Structure 1
Amino acid sequence: MGYGLPVLDALRTWTARRWLAAALAAVVTALVIALPTAMVPTPVFGREIPTTWWAWPVLAVTSVLSGLLLATYVREPGTPEPSGATIDRRGAAGGLLAFFAVGCPVCNKLALVALGYAGALQWFAPVQPFLAAAGVALLAWTLRARLRGQLACPTAGAAGTTPEDVDRVPA
């Protein structure tokens, strides 16, 4: 591996199976966020306040980062299941923050009950870009940690990894 960023080195080791999982998870994430927030109009969900210009890039980045993050949990065939493996909740929190960030401020029942219609527009709407930034940052941080962990503790025999490769992985 080598001369690039450690995160990119980890991505270079991915098989087609992982990349396919990342692509599918990104599409599902985009739909799970865009449909209920009515970024994409449907007969089921409506929106009183138009989608902001920055919500579309937030949706795209959130979807890509979520897809990559979910793909880090995909095991290759023939590799043993890691002991003590847990799902990192920071990624879920990042996705949830992005969901609230791109949604209509007065369509969010929590904001509406807590602040009322005028309060949701006056207090919640201005906070939404910060929620978006926090959500994206949390997803990126979690993905970086997962990918660095993939390089630090590769499983012998996984995706072409040999026991000798384990000794050469940078800390």
Structure 2
Amino acid sequence: MLDVLRAWSPRRWWAALGAAAVTVLVVAVPTAMLPTPVFGREIPTTWWAWPVLAVTAALSGLLFATYVREPGAAAAEPTVDRRGFAGGLLAFFAVGCPVCNKVVLLALGYAGALQWFAPVQPVLAVAGVALLAWALRARLRGEVSCAVPEPPPTTTTTTRSAAGRV
């Protein structure tokens, strides 16, 4: 898989870098890891949330870049891997404030979010990173798979006579 990454053009690397930066913003701003006047956080960011965000952004950027077509390459039918989306979503919930998530608050309440959801967040982080890595591995392996050659055209033709003989 490293050979595939080494063969990438600058176009793909720039796409990976841009997608990683967008991932950081999409995850860190609404979860208030990056302070903004719009979003607040009642529980401080955990020590492990920053490495999870960095790994999530890197994997998401690389995964995004696998969908960037090289100039002059034949257009292949794109297959979207939902594991990458699921991994990013899990990482989003993992690094977020446990009591700032409205769905968790509605389902568990404030005390339940702290007692039940907060301890599960590291598991969500590991699962999210694992799904992103799995999706990236599948996409990179697909880039090195061998193309199936087309069968040669058949040139043998048979004719039948009126009597049915060949």
Same fold (TM over 0.5): yes
Provide the rounded CA distance (Å) in 1 between the counterparts of 2:80 and 2:65. 12
CA pair 153-17 structure 1, distance change in 2 beyond 3 A: farther
- Structure 1 length as normaliser, TM-score? 0.84
- For the pair 1:55 / 2:49, whether they are aligned, the reply is yes
Give the counterpart of 2:120 among 116, 127, 146.
127
CA pair 153-47 structure 1, distance change in 2 beyond 3 A: farther
Give the corresponding residue for 1:66: 60
Provide the rounded CA distance (Å) in 1 between the counterparts of 2:145 and 2:34. 40
Give the corresponding residue for 1:142: 135
Shift in Å at residue 9 of structure 1? 1.0
Shift in Å at residue 153 of structure 1? 4.3
- Structure 2 length as normaliser, TM-score? 0.87
Q: How many residues align?
A: 147
Provide the rounded CA distance (Å) in 1 between the counterparts of 2:133 and 2:79. 18
Moved over 2 A (4+): none
Give the counterpart of 1:22 among 4, 13, 16.
16
Report the structure number with the largest CA radius of gyration.
Answer: 2
Greater per-residue helix proportion: 1
Q: Which moved more, 1:19-28 or 1:145-154?
A: 145-154
Amino acid at match of 1:118: A
Gaps of 5+ in 1: 1-6, 155-171
Shift in Å at residue 80 of structure 1? 2.1
Percent identity of paired positions between Structure 1 and Structure 2? 77
